[in-house]
Amino acid sequence: MPRPASPDAAVPGPARAASPGRPKDLNKRAAILDAAKMLFTRHGFDGVSMDGIAAEAGVSKLTVYSHFGDKDSLFFEAVRAKCEELLPSELFMVDHLHGPLRAQLTSIARAFFTLITSDEALSMHRMMLTQSSDLHVREMFWKAGPQRVQEAFAGFVQARADAGELAVPDVCRASSQFFCLLKGELHMRMASGLCCAPGKSDLDAHIDATVDLFLRAHAPR
């Protein structure tokens, strides 16, 4: 039977810290994460076992549990790792290395669109909508992926607003709207199998239009 919806405290965060003792093998951890990302995307949460992940990664099931504790934590970390891979935290840092506001917004927008239109992300999106009836799984996915990204972007927007570069009365709402604009109709058509990824010129136009609209809406007054 599906598990009942859980309060936020019941949704796992990052995997538990390793217990004292011999250091964990980072290569094995990476292999487990790669296997988990592939299998969860291909078969959904319910269709994957810890035995299957261990076999795919070439490690023992005990090693999988030693690194990640349980299946929920491994799923959470697999989603988080995929987001970090294509949309790293460094993108949201506000400093001179990342350039002016428009340039940084464009970089974030391009990385986000690359993430959500990757084969893995589209497959996971379809799985969330069709395969899993467990609200708990959807909550884990949300916290590990979309929520993490929105919170990081909200921090970026707030820092730019504090510097006087933006006027944003509701940072959380503005962050959500930015990513909704980026998804647009195009992402839904791709997720539905009605079109493929846009060419470079079309993608550039889509991203530029989104960034322009966001900047016009939140220009300092």
pLDDT tens, position by position, 186-202: 998 998 889 888 999 99
**Could you count the other beta carbons within 10 Å of the beta carbon of residue 102?**
14
In a domain, 128, yes or no: yes
Do residues 216 and 170 share a domain? yes
Do residues 93 and 190 share a domain? yes
Do residues 96 and 69 share a domain? no
In a domain, 16, yes or no: no
Do residues 137 and 185 share a domain? yes
In a domain, 14, yes or no: no
Structural domain containing residue 103: 87-221
* pTM value surpassing 0.85: no
Q: Look at residues 40, 65, 86 and tell me which one is the last residue of a structural domain.
A: 86
Q: Work out the mean pLDDT of the chain and round it to a whole number.
A: 87
Do residues 134 and 209 share a domain? yes
Radius of gyration of the chain (CA): 19
Do residues 55 and 96 share a domain? no
**Side chain identity, residue 129:** L
In the predicted structure, residue 131 carries a pLDDT above the cut 70: no
In the predicted structure, residue 98 carries a pLDDT above the cut 90: no
In a domain, 154, yes or no: yes
Do residues 128 and 76 share a domain? no
Helices within 71-170 (DSSP H only): 71-86, 101-116, 119-130, 135-144, 146-162
In the predicted structure, residue 9 carries a pLDDT above the cut 80: no
In the predicted structure, residue 126 carries a pLDDT above the cut 50: yes
In a domain, 6, yes or no: no
pLDDT 10s digits, 22-51: 556 889 999 999 999 999 988 889 899 999
Looking at residue 130, what is its pLDDT? 73
Number of domains the chain contains: 2
CA distances from 151 to 156, 172, 200, 205 (A): 9, 8, 28, 26
Q: Look at residues 44, 64, 86 and tell me which one is the last residue of a structural domain.
A: 86
- For the chain, give the percent of residues with pLDDT over 90: 65
In a domain, 11, yes or no: no
pLDDT mean over 108-118: 94
Looking at residue 123, what is its pLDDT? 86
Do residues 114 and 33 share a domain? no
Looking at residue 136, what is its pLDDT? 87
Do residues 29 and 122 share a domain? no
d(CA 38, CA 32): 10
Are 165 and 103 a contacting pair, CB within 8 Å?
no
Do residues 61 and 102 share a domain? no
Q: Look at residues 51, 86, 121 and tell me which one is the last residue of a structural domain.
A: 86
Looking at residue 12, what is its pLDDT? 57
